[in-house]
Amino acid sequence: MRKLPNEDMAAAWNGPSGQAWVDEQQLLDEMFLPIESLLVDAVQQLGARAVLDVGCGSGATTLAVARALGSDGRATGIDISRPLIDMAHERARQRGSAASFVCDDAQTHDFEATSFDLLISRFGVMFFDDPVAAFANLRRATANQGALRFVTFRPIAENPFMTTAERAAGPLLANIPPRRPNAPGQFAFSDRDYVLGILAGSGWSHAELAPVDVACSFPVAALERYITRLGPVGQALREAGESTRRQVVERISGAFRPFVRDTQVRFVAACWMISARAGA
């Protein structure tokens, strides 16, 4: 039977991976707050009034953009994960925010044509199984001369923090999902030429990738949760016994010591700020 677009990602993000992000929402939002600030700055610098946050997760960046836009603007988030969108709706309700959220696949969602003047994303666009189709669909949703500003990771070699857990746990966990070049996942948009090809092939112009190094941190007290709930190791540990789990946590905790400063885990996220324009 032929798979639906992004079927595997939909299953993951509506299952354990999505629930893990719901549970660790506070940790993730704190860790990536500097990325959120970069995107809010971009919204303000470009004077955008109708903003779409692609792969919005639990809505932190969408909510921040809604605050920055005020009553004259419109901030919408879209994500394939029902658990994360439910959390985003609840956070908006609690804060009295005008931000709105859609649970659907941005690759295939029937957006109103030319309805946004800026698309943003905080690590939310690297998971499409057909990125050219996805970005063509997003292009149709963008007004002529509208823009995009996405933050993604640069290559694995420039982001040692992000693979510390799997490198340390490799000898103990045989089922850690492999990293495949340009495959949907955390580092899918790490290659500049690959990304430029996607944007050119989907109708975007004036595409640029600017390197941005972002200092991130989170409390040491949250390190074990980060290790055991998130990423490839968190996924592999769901099938591990308690003895293996204890060994993995001990081994990985030691591997993260170079990143610990006092009460904080600190690292630099090596990112691209991807920009492009809808229209010639």
Q: List pLDDT tens digits, range 170-191.
A: 888 888 878 888 899 999 999 9
- What's the CA angle centered on 181, arms 207 and 186, to 5 degrees? 70
Question: pTM (2 decimals)?
Answer: 0.94
Residue 202's CB: how many other CB atoms inside 10 A?
A: 19
Residues 104, 106, 111: CA angle, nearest 5 degrees: 90
- Find the length of the chain: 280
How large a percentage of the chain has pLDDT more than 70?
Answer: 99
- Per the model's pLDDT, the better-predicted residue between 245 and 141 turns out to be 141
pLDDT tens-digit profile of 34-62?
999 999 999 999 999 999 999 999 999 99
3-class DSSP state for residue 41? helix
- Write the CB contacts of 184 (distance below 8 Å, at least 6 apart in sequence): 6, 8, 9, 126, 127, 128, 129
Q: Which residues contact 13 (CB under 8 A, 6 or more apart)?
A: 21, 79, 80, 81, 84
CATH 3.30.390.10 fits 7-155+181-215+269-278, yes or no: no
Whether the per-residue pLDDT at 3 is higher than 90: the answer is no
Cα 249–Cα 254–Cα 255 angle in degrees, nearest 5: 100
Quick check: 257 pLDDT over 80? yes
- The pLDDT of residue 243 is 87
The residue to which tokens 């044509």 are assigned: 113
Q: Which helix (DSSP H) or strand (DSSP E) does residue 43 occupy? A: helix 33-46
Q: Distance (Å, rounded) from C-alpha 127 to C-alpha 119?
A: 16
Please give the pLDDT value at position 174.
Answer: 82
* Domain-wise residue ranges, the chain: 7-155+181-215+269-278
* Structural element, H or E, at residue 260: strand 260-261
